[in-house]
Amino acid sequence: MLFHLHMALLGVAEWDVSQLSDCVKNRCPRTDADPAEDSDLAMYFINPELGHLDEPCIIMDMHGCIILWYLPGIYSLH
């Protein structure tokens, strides 16, 4: 049985997800929350303002690479 799932494109980030990945993987693991480190990334990789998500959607980077699939209710309690 095939299911057709309508996915809306909700947002496009204005940065490259590969560059973000390189920045994150080249950092040392941290043991506590360091606000300076978070603000450093936030300066270059600004999250798009999307509001409340309640429908299936995708978010892509500036090159069309999918960053996030949002699939509410995909896991069943049964």
Q: Which amino acid would we find at residue 73? A: G
Please state the rounded mean pLDDT for residues 53-61: 85
Average pLDDT value for residue range 1-17: 67
Contact 40, 48 (CB under 8 A): no
Residue 40 backbone dihedrals phi, psi, to 5 degrees: -60, -50
Residue count of the chain = 78
**Least reliable range by pLDDT among 3-7, 35-39, 51-55, 71-75:** 3-7
User: Closest by alpha carbon to 6, among 51, 57, 48?
Assistant: 57
Strand order in the sheet with 66-70: 8-12, 57-60, 66-70
Share of the chain above pLDDT 70, in %: 71
Check residue 14 and give its pLDDT. Answer: 83
Spatial separation of the C-alpha atoms in residues 3 and 19, rounded to whole Å:
34
Q: Would you place residue 2 in the very low, low, confident or very high pLDDT band (cuts 50, 70, 90)?
A: very low
State mean pLDDT over 32-44: 67
